[in-house]
């Protein structure tokens, strides 16, 4: 079983591609760091009592900082490493959840639209058209704006992560829906689907058991690319001050805070989280690119 | 052909109505318009009278009809925050955003299309691989980080270019332009680059993918077998066929340019519509948010109509009826 | 004129170097049509690509000599080779739909090609193009030349492709399956044109095809390839009538003859398993299971006055979208336990009949029946309707008819589970293994995936799947047209055997008259959605009634005087 896996085309190509391997290592490291943040971080950046202003604005170790804070501290005396790990944890959580919601919603609608065609397809695609006229970031901003108007401020604070996730998910589902629908259009005329339809199998079974496994390739690519988009979108919203507040900083929030130190000498407060975010997203995109090449051999 | 155009026109109108409906729902259901317009000391009778005057007691569909009619006549209502007419607020911000977006889009097309062609024609070279890697990093860096990096390098470290505002502007009719002064261009460079770089990488990758697809097609193989010169093969046969799908996507990208201009404007304090939108979100200024939506959708629909016309111009299959 | 000696083409790859062409020699003289025939993977197209210098990377000519006249083709630089293409060697591709640039007029493409090789003015090139189009049989060429490719029909488009290959007066034209995408009537016109051009202009043709009929009809000499190696070469009449090589002999035995009906093809069954299947999983067990049910095999199937309309595309704002009538009041009756052959060109409505009977397409009028009962049409046919089990279908393309993500065992067990024929999962597995033995595959195939099998093996699996429903009717839609002829012979043998053993009713749809003759008891000819002729098979082939049937039969390339 394992031997067959290693002989398979994607795995073979993976071990031939240094870029993909490096990206996978970076992605796994970041993911591991995010998951085990409470164990790895020396301080809890959400707990104001665990750090003191006395340690504020310490530079990284090699610029003469304190050995307790390898990458220095911010103005509050927060350890940068701890802040980044917790920030990545939050960014990845939101990104993964948004991607999951968007893929279930989008793939479901796309599958059904492609399979049934006709009026249902027309309605879904018109909604997708409208969604396209309002790009992702606009949709996310809008949903956040609406939630501010509708929800009382206290509740809005509590629901920020959920609202942010939903906003990002709703701005990304179209990609999934369009890809799934286009693939279904190709697949549904193939004989194996026709065979299942002739047998009288239930449409849900035909879609999930027969069609879905055969269109996973392009969907996997979209998933990776959209995970990167979701993380970027979260960072952007937080940077704009619409996303997460300073007391529970995601990577985007950390960068926004760091902006205040752009002109003063404390470069690490800005560039450390920035580099971390870029490394994470680059590695996800490299993996997405690799998958795209694997599933579309003609472009190789 | 006329049918194709008309079909797209009807679709566009449908999109516009839907967006207008969205904007109206925002205005009507997110928060109470009356309590937004009145202070704490307003009496209940005054509120009720205002409610009646605004027509908020009418049937929903009547209200939506009135809302749309007003919009068509240029009456976009008043801002909750500044009490100014929204139309004036938006109109004063449109030039800045359009100039920024257009220059950014031009950068993305003028650089993205040639590099896309180059990397498609030499898919395995060192230069191509380097460009591809660079663009991959390019799409992965958030727009605001690109902006910060440019500000840091050219504004802070080198001090060559201004890092905020529009610089010198010239008033032409109702249009405030920064395209006619040296100062204006200096101020425009960094934001336009910031906005353009992301679109550029997308354009390049798209042109490359489509071009490689076309280069693999039978008619290119046949033309190669006929000994058509490579220059004509690439730039006459392949490029034209590449552009058919590419222009469609570029039309869609315009939406992206406008959307990301929100971020760019925020980083560079560029006084455009995006900045206005951000402010209005922060203050829950619903009328401005709604109108912004409608304006954005309008530009998007307009650009895509132009794209459809281009499409017809390029592709004879849409122009000439089948008679074979 | 063209001399190839000891040509070897290699593709270096992941698992070592693959030798696609191994030491092949052949020659083409001026005015000669040289056929290059072989089954898929024989390397026919690779030879063509090597000659014109357009091998797909990483392919390379490893050794051998290729000369055209005095020119050594292997010693040319990249730009010299490109200069030579079109001027001295040209090429015709299989699919005329995709061979032309859709955004340029025919005139632009012709003029550009001429000017690429000769220093002539545009108007002179245009005049020559018009004359050429007329010579090639395009009427009203002076106006038609301004049209775009999509304004020509398939056959006309292939003529334009030939004109493009011809406009620079090359010495050699490589035609890679030039008629495979065309119907027989158009195919015969294009072949006539090729023969005329070889004769009048003295152009040498290298005609690459898998179709022995085409080889027999127009080539002077033929080279038979298999797995990249030359099997036999010589004058066409000699090679086809009295082949020397064993492979050529078995190939000829597998070609279905048009002029008589064979009981069985005399071909070795290369797919047969080496070991006998274990008890409980053998062909005998499968046969026992298939006949154990109370079902009576072989029910009659038919339709009366069935009309199918598809809504067309709206082409203008003010006219209604024109409805396209795919079937026009078609009545058809297949006798119980017999094989009905359904023939017709593309677009005649053959496949629509299959789709109506299987409930995929809703007819706008007419009745269907199965045995003595009405067969509900698409929308009225419930998912639990008994006919869903009784009517089974075998599709054309075995590469797409099996779900690539499922194991063979799961694919075969699905009908057993779906129709409630076998409740126990272990028993389903045993039956699946047994039926594999019945169709001539090894029982251990059960845990593999479809992509691990060849086309012929997959088609056997597809047949096995349809049998497991215990059907009374099998609808076969071009079941062998995607297969090589030796594999086709095996699959046809299998179908004949199964039909005889279980008395199945079969509706056998094919565009290939020779195949239909081998399979059917009755024949129905379809044209443009209406029935032209129907009757007993032997009567149809010896003495067709309708003029259209006679035309079809006369245009189908047959084997030389067997």
User: Contact, C307 vs C366, CB < 8 A?
Assistant: yes
User: Contact, C37 vs C175, CB < 8 A?
Assistant: no
Token pair of C459, please?
Answer: 């088609």
Does the pLDDT at position A113 exceed 90? yes
Interface test with A, best of B31, B281, B302 (most A CBs within 10 A): B281
Nearest CB neighbour to B301, from listed A133, A141, A146: A133
- What are the b/e assignments for A257-289, b being 16+ CB within 10 Å? bbbebbeeebbbbbbbbbebbbbbbbbbbbbbb
Q: Tell me the nearest-neighbour CA distance from B180 into chain A, angstroms.
A: 30
What is the residue whose two structure tokens read 């996310």? A140
Q: Is C560 helix (H, G, I), strand (E, B) or coil?
A: coil
Ranges A277-291, C28-42, C279-293: which has the least confidence: C279-293
Q: Is B169 helix (H, G, I), strand (E, B) or coil?
A: coil
Domain spanning C281-311+323-555: CATH 3.40.50.300: yes
3-class SS string, C369-380: EECCEECCCHHH
User: Strand pairing partners for C16?
Assistant: C13
User: Contact, B196 vs B103, CB < 8 A?
Assistant: yes
Provide the pLDDT for residue A294: 79
- Starting at the earlier edge strand, list the strands of the sheet with C505-510: C391-394, C473-477, C505-510, C339-343, C522-527, C530-536
Answer yes or no: pTM beyond 0.95. no
Does the pLDDT at position C319 exceed 80? no
Regarding whether B10 and B155 lie in a shared domain, the answer is no
Does the pLDDT at position C392 exceed 60? yes
User: Contact, C215 vs C37, CB < 8 A?
Assistant: yes
Q: What is the mean pLDDT of residues C311-338?
A: 77
Nearest CB neighbour to B30, from listed A149, A284, A298: A149
- As a whole number of angstroms, the distance between CA A121 and CA A112 comes to 8
User: Contact, C258 vs C514, CB < 8 A?
Assistant: yes
Highest mean pLDDT among A129-138, A175-184, B300-309: A175-184
Contacts of A213 in chain C (CB under 8 A): 403, 405-406
Q: To which H or E segment does residue A206 belong?
A: none
Higher per-residue pLDDT: C449 or A81: C449
Higher per-residue pLDDT: A297 or A145: A145
Interface of B with C in 195-224 (CB under 8 A): 217-219, 221-224
Interface of B with A in 273-312 (CB under 8 A): 277-278, 280-282, 284, 286, 289, 293, 296-297, 300-301
Contacts of A12 in chain C (CB under 8 A): 14
List, in sequence order, the alpha helices (H) in C88-224: 106-117, 122-135, 141-144, 154-166, 184-201, 212-218
Does the pLDDT at position C561 exceed 60? no
CB contact under 8 A, B259 and A298: no
**What tens digit of pLDDT does each residue of A87-109 get?**
888 889 999 999 999 999 999 99
Higher per-residue pLDDT: C269 or C185: C185
Q: Are strands C505-510 and C473-477 parallel, antiparallel or unpaired?
A: parallel
Does the pLDDT at position C101 exceed 90? yes
- As a whole number of angstroms, the distance between CA C214 and CA C217 comes to 5
Q: What is the mean pLDDT of residues A27-49?
A: 78
Regarding whether B112 and B8 lie in a shared domain, the answer is no
For C307-319, the DSSP string reads EEEEE----SSSS
CB contact under 8 A, A200 and C402: no
> Domain locations in chain C?
2-88+168-253, 281-311+323-555
Domain spanning A63-299: CATH 1.20.1250.20: no
> Domain locations in chain A?
63-299
Q: What is the mean pLDDT of residues C92-110?
A: 91
The set of chains that have 3 or more CB pairs under 8 A with B is A, C
- Could you give phi then psi for residue B3, rounded to 5 degrees? -65, -40
- Work out the pLDDT band at C415, boundaries 50, 70, 90: very high
Provide the pLDDT for residue A69: 67
Provide the pLDDT for residue B286: 83
Provide the pLDDT for residue A167: 86
Answer whether residue B79 is part of any domain. Answer: no
Rounded to the nearest integer, the mean pLDDT of chain C is 88
Token pair of B89, please?
Answer: 């607020």
Does the pLDDT at position A4 exceed 70? no
User: Contact, C312 vs C325, CB < 8 A?
Assistant: no
Regarding whether B50 and B94 lie in a shared domain, the answer is no
Interface test with B, best of C150, C162, C315, C319 (most B CBs within 10 A): C150
Higher per-residue pLDDT: A142 or B173: A142
User: Contact, C394 vs C459, CB < 8 A?
Assistant: yes
Does the pLDDT at position C161 exceed 90? yes
- As a whole number of angstroms, the distance between CA C377 and CA C362 comes to 6
Does the pLDDT at position C530 exceed 60? yes
Nearest CB neighbour to A199, from listed C395, C403, C415: C415
CB contact under 8 A, C86 and B225: yes
Does the pLDDT at position C311 exceed 70? yes
Ranges A60-64, A235-239, B236-240, C355-359: which has the least confidence: A60-64
What is the residue whose two structure tokens read 């336990």? C337
Question: Of B25, B45, B72, which one is at a domain's C-terminal end?
Answer: B72
Regarding whether B181 and B125 lie in a shared domain, the answer is yes
Query: At a CB cut-off of 8 Å and minimum separation 6, what does A284 contact?
Result: A23, A27, A224, A227, A228, A231, B140
Answer whether residue B18 is part of any domain. Answer: yes
With 0-12 / 13-18 / 19 or more C-beta atoms within 10 angstroms meaning exposed / middle / buried, residue A152 is: exposed
Provide the pLDDT for residue A300: 39
Token pair of C360, please?
Answer: 């995929």
Q: To which H or E segment does residue A143 belong?
A: helix A136-150
CB contact under 8 A, C393 and A213: no
CB atoms inside a 10 Å sphere around CB B126: 8
Regarding whether B58 and B101 lie in a shared domain, the answer is no
- Work out the pLDDT band at C262, boundaries 50, 70, 90: confident
What is the residue whose two structure tokens read 């189009």? C133
Regarding whether B135 and B266 lie in a shared domain, the answer is yes
Provide the pLDDT for residue C293: 65
Q: How far is CA C59 from the centre of its chain?
A: 27
One of 2.40.50.110, 3.40.50.300, 1.10.10.10, 1.10.1270.20 is the CATH number of C2-88+168-253, namely 3.40.50.300
Beta strands in chain A (DSSP E): none
- As a whole number of angstroms, the distance between CA C325 and CA C366 comes to 14
- Work out the pLDDT band at A201, boundaries 50, 70, 90: very high
- As a whole number of angstroms, the distance between CA C450 and CA B98 comes to 55
Number of domains forming the structure of chain B: 2
Answer whether residue B78 is part of any domain. Answer: no
User: Strand pairing partners for C535?
Assistant: C523
User: Strand pairing partners for C342?
Assistant: C509, C524
Structure letter (DSSP) for residue A60: P
User: Contact, A107 vs A226, CB < 8 A?
Assistant: no
Question: Of B26, B46, B72, which one is at a domain's C-terminal end?
Answer: B72
Higher per-residue pLDDT: B82 or C80: C80
Q: Checking phi first, is residue C177 left (phi over 0); if not, alpha (psi -120 to 50) or beta?
A: left
CB atoms inside a 10 Å sphere around CB B217: 17
Regarding whether B189 and B297 lie in a shared domain, the answer is yes
The set of chains that have 3 or more CB pairs under 8 A with C is A, B
Provide the pLDDT for residue B303: 85
CB contact under 8 A, A145 and B141: no
- Work out the pLDDT band at C558, boundaries 50, 70, 90: confident
Answer whether residue B167 is part of any domain. Answer: yes
Mean pLDDT of successive 10-residue stretches along chain B, which has 324 residues = 79 86 81 68 76 75 84 82 86 89 90 92 87 85 87 84 78 77 84 89 88 90 92 91 83 78 89 89 83 87 84 79 43
3-class SS string, A76-102: CCCEHHHHHHHHHHHHHHHHHHHHHHH
Cis bond upstream, residue C58 (ω within 30)? yes
- Rounded to a whole number of angstroms, the CA Rg of chain B reads 24
Q: Is A181 helix (H, G, I), strand (E, B) or coil?
A: helix
What is the residue whose two structure tokens read 């029946």? C369
- The parent domain of residue B50 ranges over 2-72
- What are the b/e assignments for C172-204, b being 16+ CB within 10 Å? bbbbbbbbebbbbebbbbbbebbbebbeeeebb
Q: Checking phi first, is residue C276 left (phi over 0); if not, alpha (psi -120 to 50) or beta?
A: beta
Q: Tell me the nearest-neighbour CA distance from C209 into chain B, angstroms.
A: 18
ipTM (interface pTM) = 0.83
**What tens digit of pLDDT does each residue of C331-381 get?**
999 999 899 999 998 888 899 999 999 999 999 999 999 988 889 988 888
Higher per-residue pLDDT: C279 or A110: A110
Regarding whether B283 and B208 lie in a shared domain, the answer is yes
């Amino acid at each position: 079983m394992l031997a067959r896996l290693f002989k398979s085309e994607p795995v073979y190509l993976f071990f031939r591609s240094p870029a993909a391997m490096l990206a996978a290592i970076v992605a796994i490291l970041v993911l591991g760091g995010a998951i085990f943040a409470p164990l790895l971080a020396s301080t809890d950046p959400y707990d104001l009592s665990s750090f003191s202003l006395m340690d504020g604005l310490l530079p990284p170790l090699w610029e003469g900082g304190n050995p307790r804070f390898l990458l220095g501290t911010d103005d509050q005396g927060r350890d940068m490493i701890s802040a980044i790990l917790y920030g990545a944890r939050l960014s990845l959580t939101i990104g993964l959840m948004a991607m999951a919601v968007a893929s279930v919603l989008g793939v479901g609608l796309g599958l059904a639209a492609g399979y049934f065609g006709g009026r249902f397809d027309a309605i879904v695609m018109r909604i997708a058209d409208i969604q396209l006229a309002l790009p992702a970031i606009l949709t996310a901003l809008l949903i956040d704006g609406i939630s501010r108007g509708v929800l009382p401020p206290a509740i809005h604070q509590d629901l920020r992560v959920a609202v942010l996730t939903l906003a990002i998910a709703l701005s990304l589902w179209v990609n999934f829906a369009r890809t799934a629908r286009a693939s279904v259009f190709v697949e549904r005329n193939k004989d194996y689907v026709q065979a299942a339809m002739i047998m009288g199998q239930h449409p849900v079974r035909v879609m999930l058991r027969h069609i879905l496994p055969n269109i996973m390739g392009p969907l996997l690519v979209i998933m990776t690319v959209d995970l990167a988009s979701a993380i970027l979108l979260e960072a952007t919203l937080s940077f704009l001050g619409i996303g997460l507040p300073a007391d529970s900083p995601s990577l985007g929030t950390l960068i926004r805070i760091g902006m205040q130190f752009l002109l003063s000498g404390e470069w690490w407060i800005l560039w450390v989280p920035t580099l971390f975010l870029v490394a994470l997203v680059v590695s996800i995109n490299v993996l997405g690119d690799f998958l795209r090449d694997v599933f579309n051999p003609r472009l190789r | 052909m006329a049918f194709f155009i008309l079909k797209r026109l009807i679709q566009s109108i449908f999109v516009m109505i839907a967006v207008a409906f969205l904007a109206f729902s925002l205005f009507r259901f997110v928060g109470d318009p009356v309590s937004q317009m009145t202070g704490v000391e307003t009496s209940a009778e005054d509120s009720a009278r205002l409610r009646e005057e605004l027509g908020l007691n009418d049937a929903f569909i009547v209200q939506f009809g009135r809302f749309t009619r007003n919009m068509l006549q240029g009456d976009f209502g008043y801002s909750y925050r500044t009490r100014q007419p929204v139309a004036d607020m938006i109109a004063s911000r449109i030039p800045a955003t359009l100039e920024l977006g257009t220059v950014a889009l031009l950068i993305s097309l003028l650089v993205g299309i040639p590099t896309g062609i180059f990397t498609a024609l030499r898919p395995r070279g060192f230069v191509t691989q380097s460009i591809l890697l660079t663009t991959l990093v390019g799409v992965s860096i958030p727009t605001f980080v690109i902006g910060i990096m440019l500000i840091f390098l050219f504004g802070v470290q080198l001090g060559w270019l201004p890092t905020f505002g529009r610089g010198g502007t010239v008033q032409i009719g109702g249009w405030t332009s920064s395209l006619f002064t040296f100062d204006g261009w200096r101020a425009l460079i960094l934001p336009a680059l910031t906005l353009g770089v992301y679109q550029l990488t997308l354009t390049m990758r798209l042109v490359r993918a489509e071009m490689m697809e076309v280069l693999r097609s039978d008619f290119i193989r046949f033309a190669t077998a006929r000994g058509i010169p490579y220059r004509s093969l690439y730039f006459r046969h392949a490029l034209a066929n590449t552009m058919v799908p590419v222009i469609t996507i570029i039309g869609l990208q315009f939406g992206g340019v406008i959307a990301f201009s929100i971020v760019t404007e925020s980083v560079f304090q560029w006084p455009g519509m995006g900045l206005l939108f951000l402010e209005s979100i922060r203050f829950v200024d619903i009328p401005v948010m709604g109108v912004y939506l409608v304006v954005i959708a309008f530009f998007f629909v307009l650009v895509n109509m132009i794209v459809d016309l281009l499409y017809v111009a390029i592709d004879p299959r849409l122009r000439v009826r089948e008679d074979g | 004129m063209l001399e190839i000696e000891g040509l070897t083409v290699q593709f270096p790859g992941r698992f070592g170097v693959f030798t696609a062409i191994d030491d092949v020699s052949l020659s083409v003289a001026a005015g000669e049509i040289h056929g290059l025939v072989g089954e898929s993977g024989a390397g026919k197209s690779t030879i063509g690509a090597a000659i014109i210098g357009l091998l797909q990377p990483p392919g390379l000519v490893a050794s051998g000599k290729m000369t055209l006249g005095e020119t050594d083709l292997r010693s040319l630089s990249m730009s010299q080779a490109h200069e030579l293409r079109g001027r001295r060697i040209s090429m015709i591709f299989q699919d005329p739909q995709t061979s032309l640039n859709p955004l340029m007029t025919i005139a632009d493409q012709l003029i550009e090609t001429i000017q690429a090789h000769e220093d002539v003015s545009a108007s002179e090139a245009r005049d020559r193009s018009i004359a050429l189009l007329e010579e090639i049989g395009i009427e009203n060429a002076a106006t038609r030349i301004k049209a775009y490719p999509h304004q020509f029909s398939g056959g006309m488009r292939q003529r334009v492709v030939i004109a493009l290959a011809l406009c620079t007066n090359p010495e050699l034209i490589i035609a890679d399956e030039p008629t495979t995408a065309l119907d027989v009537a158009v195919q015969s016109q294009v072949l006539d044109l090729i023969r005329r051009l070889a004769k009048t202009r003295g152009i040498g043709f290298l005609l690459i095809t898998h179709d022995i009929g085409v080889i027999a009809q127009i080539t002077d000499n033929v080279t038979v390839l298999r797995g990249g190696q030359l099997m036999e070469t010589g004058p066409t009449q000699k090679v086809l009538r009295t082949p020397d090589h064993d492979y050529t002999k078995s190939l000829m035995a597998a070609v279905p003859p048009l002029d008589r009906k064979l009981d069985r093809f005399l071909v070795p069954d290369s797919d047969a398993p080496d070991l006998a299947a274990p008890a409980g999983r053998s062909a005998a067990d499968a046969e026992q299971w298939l006949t154990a049910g109370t079902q009576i095999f072989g029910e009659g199937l038919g339709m009366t006055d069935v009309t199918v309309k598809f809504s067309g595309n709206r082409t203008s704002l003010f006219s209604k979208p024109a409805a396209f009538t795919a079937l026009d009041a078609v009545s058809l009756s297949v006798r119980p336990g017999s094989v009905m052959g359904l023939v017709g060109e593309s677009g005649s409505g053959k496949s629509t009949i299959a789709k109506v009977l299987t409930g995929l397409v809703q007819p706008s009028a007419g009745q269907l029946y199965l045995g003595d009962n009405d067969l509900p049409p698409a929308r009225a046919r419930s998912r639990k309707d008994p006919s869903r089990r009784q009517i089974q279908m075998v599709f054309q393309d075995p590469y797409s008819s099996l779900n690539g993500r499922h194991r063979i065992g799961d694919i075969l067990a699905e009908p057993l589970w779906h129709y409630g024929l076998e409740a126990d999962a272990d028993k389903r597995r045993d039956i699946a293994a047994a039926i594999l033995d019945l169709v001539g595959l090894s029982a251990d195939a059960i845990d593999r995936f479809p992509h691990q099998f060849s086309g012929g093996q997959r088609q056997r699996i597809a047949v096995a799947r349809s049998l497991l429903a215990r059907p009374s009717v099998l609808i076969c839609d071009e079941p062998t047209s995607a297969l090589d002829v030796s594999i086709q012979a095996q699959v046809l043998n299998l179908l004949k055997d199964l039909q005889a053993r279980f008395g199945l009713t079969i509706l056998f749809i094919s565009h290939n008259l020779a195949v239909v003759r081998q399979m059917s008891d009755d024949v129905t000819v379809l044209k443009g959605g209406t029935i032209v002729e129907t009757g007993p098979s032997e009567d149809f082939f010896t003495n067709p009634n309708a003029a259209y049937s006679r035309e079809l039969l006369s245009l189908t390339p047959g084997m030389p005087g067997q």
